[in-house]
Structure 1
């Protein structure tokens, strides 16, 4: 079983994340799905794992897999929110679901902002003449992450005995320009700065921008097929053919260790290859 393989890869330490509320956006596939399976094994019974994505069928499949896992049998509560976070109502629904399902006393609140889209990588910056097209992309990839974070943290204000974590799934594209990836690079750079500002404003929060490295996911398939810049496209194709892409499980293990060790500078941008 995939979940057995994943659990075997989690560092065999006698540590956990306590009784927590963990919210993962973009949880139906790829890295988000992997993180849900990995973090479930680190949560104490009666913790709540809130999975958010647009694909209801895939979310329910993941929910069933988690329910059948050791964590599920031990009392992990798994709830799905089927929603497009690019819409205000979806953000509000997610916050409401978190408040309804969360235990009164939790040790940790963990929000993992993973939901993202690649955007149209077949075109170059000067082709984006329609502001509505750009606004639509930024609504899902930037605005929703800020609004969801603000809503969740307001719903669960700081109190003694609880640690609050905000994880932004970042990218090398947040710090390095990729030709024909103007939307994706802009979104990732904006999110990094957004969460760096949050870390400065809210010193009680533990904020992390984690770049998981080049993952072997559907987004990578899309990048290899559609990237307009031939150099960038060839680079991704070479990484794939030479076996240089990372599995979601490999990268997820490092993020789990960061959360367990809890010694990263709040607001830091940490890359898989830095660790």
Structure 2
């Protein structure tokens, strides 16, 4: 059954400083009850604090929404731990909905092909930021906020079509997204009370897609991305985010499902 709001929520968003993560924070703030709390995380402190100020000055902020910034690198061991700690400290007894948005991600070196990755350190570094931290953060939040009567828990993995479809010269990105995709499908099976959503936001006008347009090693994929810009098939972050908000409010997806923006 569709709802008009997401409750009095504690919402943790990784990669919140710009792009899709920032749009998610702004749109979620309009759907949360007074007394809700954001834990906003990213590597860029200045951008996070600018978002914090924007949320504080919004109608939601004036109605009692709080935002806490955690400037951290998820690729480091301390990253997930510092976010979990901040979430516990920011939470109140009135919170009735825990929302974790696993948004932070990077493309990796998309100028190279699979056969070019012979150094384990390069691969380990990529997976540490894009997969390991996501798993450890999700596990940490679920442990600190276990199931109890009256508490709803939602975990979103910002996924990609690349989780289910190979793209030449994007081996790190595709592999990382595929691993996250399966991790959250397993989680949905293990935790039936949990609401788990794999959301693919589509091609958006972000620094990441621009990097793909400029640096992709495979010529045909590079042309495909450039053509999307020319044909105006690139979405704004706000357009895609609105579709995700619709899914969260209606709450009738099958937990663990992979849903693409164009299916909403």
5+ long unaligned stretches in structure 2: none
Could you say what secondary structure the match of 1:237 adopts? helix
Tell me the CA shift for residue 104 of structure 1: 1.3
Distance 1:76 1:105 in 2: 13
Could you say what secondary structure the match of 2:108 adopts? coil
Tell me the CA shift for residue 105 of structure 1: 2.6
TM alignment of 1:183-198, pairs within 5 A? 183-198=172-187
Equivalent pair of 2:107/2:208 in contact (CA under 8 Å): yes
Corresponding residue of 1:134: 123
Corresponding residue of 2:256: 267
Could you say what secondary structure the match of 2:153 adopts? strand
Corresponding residue of 2:231: 242
Distance 1:90 1:67 in 2: 25
Corresponding residue of 2:41: 52
Tell me the CA shift for residue 14 of structure 1: 7.2
Distance 1:216 1:171 in 2: 14
Corresponding residue of 2:59: 70
Distance 1:186 1:56 in 2: 29
Tell me the CA shift for residue 202 of structure 1: 0.7
The equivalent position to 1:216 in structure 2, one of 205, 225, 236, is: 205
- 1:31-74 CA-partner distances (Å, limit 9, x unpaired): 00000000001011110011010000000000011111111111
Distance 2:8 2:117 in 1: 46
5+ long unaligned stretches in structure 1: 1-12
Structural RMSD (CA): 0.9
- 1:104-149 CA-partner distances (Å, limit 9, x unpaired): 1312100000000010000000000001100000000000000000
Q: How many residues in Structure 1 have an aligned counterpart in Structure 2?
A: 263
Distance 2:84 2:3 in 1: 32
The equivalent position to 1:108 in structure 2, one of 97, 103, 108, is: 97
Corresponding residue of 2:193: 204
Tell me the CA shift for residue 75 of structure 1: 0.5
Moved more, 202-211 or 101-110: 101-110
Distance 1:251 1:259 in 2: 13
Equivalent pair of 2:79/2:133 in contact (CA under 8 Å): no
Corresponding residue of 1:165: 154
Could you say what secondary structure the match of 1:164 adopts? strand
TM-score by length of 2: 0.98
Corresponding residue of 1:255: 244
TM alignment of 1:74-113, pairs within 5 A? 74-113=63-102
- 1:141-178 CA-partner distances (Å, limit 9, x unpaired): 00000000000010000000111001000000000000
Q: Which runs of 4 or more aligned residues in structure 1 lie more than 4 Å from their structure 2 counterparts after TM superposition?
A: none
Distance 1:131 1:149 in 2: 25
